[in-house]
Amino acid sequence: MKVIDDVLVRTEHLSKVYPDGNVNALCDVNVEIRRGEYVAIMGPSGSGKSTLLSMLGALDRPTSGEVYFEGERLSSMPSLDRFRSEKIGFVFQSFYLLPTLTALENVQIPMFESNRPVKERAAKAKELLASVGMSHRLHHLPSKLSVGERQRVAIARSLANDPVLLFGDEPTGNLDTKTAELILGLFAKLHDESGVTLVVVTHSDEVAARAERVIHIRDGQVVEDSHISTATTKIA
Amino acid sequence: MWFSTFLLKNLLRRKTRTLLTSCGVAVAVGTTIALLGLSESFENGTLSALEKRGIDIVIVERGVLDQLSSDLQENAVDYVAALPGVSKVEPALVELMGYTDPNTGNTINVLLQGWRTDSFQFAEFEIIEGRPLQEGDDKAILLGVTLAENVKKHAGDTFVLNEEELEVVGVFESFSTFESGGAIMPLKGLQAMSFREGSVTGFPVILEHGPGAPTVAEVAEQINQLKDNEGRSLNLLARPSREYTQEAMHIKMAHAMALMTSLIAVFVGGIGMLNTMIMSVVERVREISILRAIGWRKSRVVAMILGESLILSAVGGVLGAIGAVVLVSLLTKLPTVAGFMTGRIAPQVIFEGFLLALAVGMIGGLFPAYRAAQLMPSEGLRSE
C-alpha cells in the first residue's frame, strides 16, 4: 500500500556489501528525509555516505533492506530509469559534463527522456542556465569554462526535468572557497525558492552548516542525526 | 539539440578512429559491391547478347557444365530446324585461345566464336573498319573493337592464334561487351584451327511468335527428345536464354566467388566495427553511468551505441559504393578484363551493398550496445 505523508524518502534496514572487496559499505541504515528538507550527510572517507546517496538515488541496488520514495518501494517500481529521470537530480564533485557539448547542449541531455520538442528543450536549457548566472556562456565547451562555471552548468543540468529531490555528491569538493560559496548560495536559493529537497554528501563543515539537518555516518552506520535548529539525536 | 547531433558529436570526438572504422566498412562494402556488380555484369553481358538478337533458346550438350566443354554434331542443326515453331537456328562454336603479343610477350585470353558467314547473328554488328566475313574466308578473323584496341590490330593486319596466321578482315562493334572483347571467325575456319571439324558447342534458336505458335517450353521439350535417323539421341539440352545464362557454370562460379569473397570482407568489416564499438563503450563507462544516473533508459543507451555504429557504417557504405564504382570503372579498362565485363554496376547492387553496410553496423553495434545497457549507473561513479 502506498503511504503518502511528508516523508519523501526513507530507508528500512538498508545494507550494502560490495562483493569485490567484501566491504560492508552500509549496515542496517534507517533514515527518513522529509519533503523540502536540506540535509547534509557527513563522514570520513569510506564511511559509506556516497553509497547511501547511491541507494537513495536508485543508482545502485541494496544487498538487503529497502528504500521507499513517497511511500513506494524502489524495488517494486517498474522503471528506476524513469524514476531518476522524473524525480531526481544529481550534482557530482567532478561535474561530469560531456566534453564535446556546449553548456547549452549539456543541460539538454537529460531532457531526451522527456517529451519536450527540440525547441522547447533549448528554451528550457537557456532558462536554467540563466537561473544559475550562465547566460553569457551558453555556447562554451566545458574546457573553456572555469570549474565554478562547470559546476553551475552541472546544477542547471540536474534541474532539467524539474526534480523533487536533488542530490549533491561533494558538490564543492573541487572548488575554491569563493566559488564554493557561490555554489552553496545557488543550492540555498533553489531550496528556499523552489522548495526542492536537497541531500548533500560532504566532508566540509561549511557546507554542512548551510543544511537544516546533518546525518553523520561512520563504518556504514548512522552515528548521529542532528537538526541544526533542534536537539541532536545521538544514535547508540 | 537533436539526438542525432549528439551521436555525431560523439563520433567526431575520435576522428581518426571514426575515419578508420568507416574505411574498414567501406572496404568491405566496396569489395562486395564491386564483386557482386562485376559478376552480375558478367551475367547481363551474356544474357544481353542473346536477348537482343531475339534468341529464345540455347542448345548445348546434355550433361556438360559449360558451353566451352560442349561437343555436338553440326548436322543436328537440321533436325532442330525441322521442328515446328523454330524460325532460325545456327550452329556455333566457342573457343577460348591465348594470344601472345609478340612485342611485350603478354598473353591475353581471346573468346573466339565460329559462325557461318551468313549467320543471323551478324545483323547486330557494326563494321567500323574493313569488311564483314565472306564465304571462303576460312583463314580470316573479325576482331571486336575492344580486342582490336588491346592488341593494336587493324583491318589488313595479321593476327597469330594457335600458330595459325589469320588475316584481320575487319573490326566490329557489338552491343555485347563479350563480343566486342572477342573475335569472330568463319565456322569452318575455327573448326579446322581447333581440330573440331563437324563439331560445334551449341545452337542459338529463334522461335516463331504468333497465334498458335508453340511455347518456348514446348519447343525446348521437343528439342530435348530429338533422335537422329538411326534412333540415337542427339544428346541436346535446350534451355530458355535466361535460364541458360543463370545456369552457365562460369557465371555461377563468378557469382559464388563474388559471394564468398564478399562474405569474408563483410565478416572482417563486422569485426572491425565490433572492436571499435566495444572500445568506445569501455572508454565511456563513466560517461554512460552518468547518462544512466541522470535518467537515461537502457533503451536510449542502446539507441546511442547502435546509432553511432549505424552512422559509421552508413558513411562506410557511401564511401564503399563510390570506391567500388570508381574501381570497377578503372579495372574494366584493363586489357585482360575489358572484353569480359562492363564497368557499370547496377543501382540495385549498390543499394544492396548499402543495406549490407547497415547490417554490418547493426551486427557490430549490437553486443557493445547490450554491454553498455547492462552497466549499473553506480558502476562508473564508484571509482571517483
pLDDT at B307 over 50: yes
pLDDT at A21 over 70: no
What is the pairing mode between strands B57-61 and B236-240?
antiparallel
Three-state DSSP class for residue B26? helix
> Which has more pLDDT, B47 or A160?
A160
A residues 24-43 lying closer than 8 A (beta carbon) to B: none
> Which has more pLDDT, B192 or B247?
B192
Whole-number pLDDT of residue B268 = 87
pLDDT at A3 over 60: no
Lowest model confidence (mean pLDDT) among A21-30, A78-87, B309-318, B339-348: B339-348
pLDDT tier at B382, thresholds 50, 70, 90: low
Per-residue cell: A173: 569538493
How close A24 comes to chain B (CA, Å)? 15
Name the interface residues of B facing A (CB cutoff 8 Å): 1-3, 5-6, 9-10, 12-13, 286-287, 290-298, 300, 376-378, 381, 384
What distance lies between CA B144 and its chain's CA centroid?
Answer: 20
- Average pLDDT score over residue span B328-332: 82
Per-residue cell: B41: 555484369
What is the pairing mode between strands B183-186 and B140-144?
antiparallel
Partners of residue A81 in chain B, C-beta under 8 Å: 292, 295-298
> Which has more pLDDT, B45 or B274?
B274
Q: Which of A21, A13, A67 is nearest to A221 (CA)?
A: A13
Rounded to the nearest 10°, the torsion over CA B167, B172, B176, B179 is 0
Partners of residue A93 in chain B, C-beta under 8 Å: 384
Predicted model pTM: 0.75
pLDDT tier at B339, thresholds 50, 70, 90: low
Tell me whether residues A99 and B13 touch, CB distance under 8 A: yes
Whole-number pLDDT of residue A128 = 93
Partners of residue A126 in chain B, C-beta under 8 Å: none
Tell me whether residues B291 and A93 touch, CB distance under 8 A: no
What is the pairing mode between strands B107-115 and B93-100?
antiparallel
pLDDT tier at B384, thresholds 50, 70, 90: very low
Q: Dump pLDDT digits (tens) for A51-77.
A: 999 999 999 889 999 999 999 999 999
Closest-approach residue (CA) in chain B for A79: B297
> Could you say which of 3.40.50.300, 3.40.120.10, 3.50.50.60, 2.30.30.30 is the CATH number of the domain covering A38-45+79-234?
3.40.50.300
Partners of residue B295 in chain A, C-beta under 8 Å: 81-82, 84-86, 88, 110, 113, 161
CA distance A205 to A194: 24
**A141 in contact with B at a CB cutoff of 8 Å?**
no
Tell me whether residues B294 and A57 touch, CB distance under 8 A: no
Whole-number pLDDT of residue A5 = 53
Partners of residue B290 in chain A, C-beta under 8 Å: 92, 96
Tell me whether residues B296 and A82 touch, CB distance under 8 A: no
Partners of residue A101 in chain B, C-beta under 8 Å: 1, 6, 9
Q: Dump pLDDT digits (tens) for A81-123.
A: 999 999 999 999 888 999 999 999 999 999 998 888 999 999 9
Whole-number pLDDT of residue A232 = 45
Q: Dump pLDDT digits (tens) for B80-103.
A: 999 999 999 999 999 988 888 888
pLDDT tier at A226, thresholds 50, 70, 90: confident
Whole-number pLDDT of residue A230 = 47
Q: One-letter amino acid identity for A182?
A: L
Interface mutation vs chain A, best among B18, B294, B302, most A CBs within 10 Å: B294
Per-residue cell: A208: 554542512
Tell me whether residues A121 and B286 touch, CB distance under 8 A: no
Tell me whether residues A59 and B384 touch, CB distance under 8 A: no
Q: Dump pLDDT digits (tens) for B244-297.
A: 888 877 788 888 888 898 888 888 888 888 898 898 888 888 889 899 998 899
**A54 in contact with B at a CB cutoff of 8 Å?**
yes
Domain spans in chain A, listed from the N-terminal domain onward: 38-45+79-234
Partners of residue B2 in chain A, C-beta under 8 Å: 118
- Average pLDDT score over residue span B137-166: 90
**Residue B282 burial (10 A CB sphere; 0-12, 13-18, 19+):** exposed
What distance lies between CA B312 and its chain's CA centroid?
Answer: 28
Q: Which of A152, A124, A120 is nearest to A136 (CA)?
A: A152
Closest-approach residue (CA) in chain B for A62: B378
Pairs of CB atoms within 8 A across A/B = 83
Whole-number pLDDT of residue A176 = 85
How close B310 comes to chain A (CA, Å)? 20
* Beta-bridge partners for B167: B140, B158
Whole-number pLDDT of residue A234 = 47
How close B312 comes to chain A (CA, Å)? 18
pLDDT at B104 over 60: yes
Domain spans in chain B, listed from the N-terminal domain onward: 3-47+251-374, 49-241
Tell me whether residues A79 and B297 touch, CB distance under 8 A: yes
Whole-number pLDDT of residue A231 = 43
